[in-house]
Amino acid sequence: MTAVRTVFSCNDASRAAAPRKSHPGPGLPAGLGALLLAILLLAILLPAPLTLAFSAADIDVQRALQSLPDNHWYNKESRSYNPPSVSPQHDNPLRREGWLAPPERQSPAATSNGNNWNLPGWFAEWFSTVFISLLGVVLLVVVALLAYHSLRSYMPARFERRRSPPAVTIDPARVAALPFEVRSTADHPLREAERLMQAGKFNEATLFLYGYLLLALDQARKIHLQQGRTNRMYLRELRESPRLSELVEQAMLAFEDVFFGQHAIPRERFLRLWERLDEFHQQLSSPATDSLPSPMKATHA
């Protein structure tokens, strides 16, 4: 056992005493080592300058912010950013429920009190109230005038004031030649016809209106008024004035319906005769044979 330990000890001593053999292989270049050493030194020394640079940058930013004028996005006292005030966003119920959605309620700030004149105190309210009232009155007057003129154009018999037409001077002695009896109280046939028309007695008014036409034609020497002569005879005397004959014929037919037929004359029919009195007076003063062409004259002849 002792001998074995002696042998191993000798072997170890011989191995230690024996020279080591060098193995040939690639070595580390001297330049690469220097580069690694420089990088190591930079890594150790670099954080200190960077910290100084960042501190200097922070100081410059703070000075720049302090030099700014007052604004709504930066608070100098707290040195912080003020978030902008944004109105809350609400979902429109129309997007979810369609046309069945209830109407949105307006905020009190959205409602207007009607005072947009920028006038002080009670005067602004008084002025705006008076102005709106006057504007409403003017609009009502304009609408009323438009309605009146429209109705007057379409219904002149109801909305136009009837003025008395210029009456022809009548010889009282010729009234007895009319085909009907005239009351002694009637001073003028046309004025009596107007009075009866205003009283709503259109049958009696038709008689006096036709009597006035005959008296006016006799006064203008268009016909010869005489008892015993018929209405058709008077029309034949007017054949040289066709338009005048047509006016007299319409009044004659109404007269015959009342006097002979005992028919009631409607208000509208009498008003049509009354409205043509101006035309009758114009034709009465115009010369004969100037209203219809020659074929119409031949027909009447």
- Answer yes or no: do 131 and 189 share one domain: no
- Answer yes or no: do 204 and 280 share one domain: yes
Q: Could you give the CA distance from residue 164 to residue 166 in angstroms, rounded to a whole number?
A: 6
Helix then strand count (H, E) for the chain reads 13, 2
Q: Could you give the CA distance from residue 281 to residue 222 in angstroms, rounded to a whole number?
A: 12
Q: Residues 133-138: what's their mean pLDDT?
A: 88
Q: pLDDT at position 165, please?
A: 56
Whether 212 and 190 have beta carbons less than 8 Å apart is answered as yes
Answer yes or no: is pLDDT of 104 > 50. yes
Task: Using only the alpha carbons of the chain, give its radius of gyration.
Answer: 62
Helix (H) or strand (E) holding 24: none
- Of 99, 131, 156, which residue is a domain's last? 156
Q: pLDDT at position 268, please?
A: 95
Q: What is the pLDDT of residues 232-257, one digit of tens each?
A: 999 999 999 999 999 999 999 999 99
Q: Residues 63-71: what's their mean pLDDT?
A: 66
In Å, what is the CA distance from 182 to each residue of 170, 211, 226, 273? 14, 9, 15, 20
Q: What is the pLDDT of residues 257-276, one digit of tens each?
A: 999 999 999 999 999 999 99
- Answer yes or no: do 240 and 296 share one domain: yes
CA atoms 82, 85, 90, 92: torsion sign: negative
Which position has the higher pLDDT, 119 or 34? 34
For 263, what's the count of Cα atoms within 13 Å in the CB-facing half-sphere?
Answer: 12
- Answer yes or no: do 176 and 293 share one domain: yes
pLDDT class for 6, splitting at 50, 70, 90? very low
State the DSSP code for 289: S
Q: pLDDT at position 170, please?
A: 79
- Answer yes or no: do 209 and 140 share one domain: no
Q: pLDDT at position 167, please?
A: 66
Output the average pLDDT for the chain: 72
- Answer yes or no: do 150 and 250 share one domain: no
Beta bridge partners of 75: 80
Which position has the higher pLDDT, 99 or 194? 194
Query: Which structure tokens are listed for 6?
Result: 């002696």
Q: Is residue 191 part of a domain?
A: yes
Residue reference for tokens 């890594």: 43
Highest mean pLDDT among 10-24, 61-75, 219-233, 279-293: 219-233
DSSP string, 217-271: HHHTTSS---TT--HHHHHHHTTT-HHHHHHHHHHHHHHHHHHTT-PPPPHHHHH
CA atoms 198, 201, 203, 209: torsion sign: negative
Q: What is the pLDDT of residues 71-102, one digit of tens each?
A: 677 777 777 777 777 777 777 776 666 666 56
Q: Which structural domain, as residue segments, surrounds residue 151?
A: 122-156
Q: What is the CATH number of the domain that holds 250?
A: 1.20.120
Answer yes or no: is pLDDT of 3 > 60. no
Domain count, the chain: 2
Find the range with the poorest average confidence among 60-64, 186-190, 221-225, 248-252: 60-64
Question: Could you tell me where the beta strands, DSSP code E, fall in the chain?
Answer: 74-75, 80-81
Q: What is the pLDDT of residues 151-166, one digit of tens each?
A: 766 655 454 444 555 5
- Answer yes or no: do 225 and 144 share one domain: no
- Answer yes or no: do 141 and 251 share one domain: no
Greatest alpha-carbon pair distance for the chain in Å reads 198
pTM, two decimals, is: 0.44
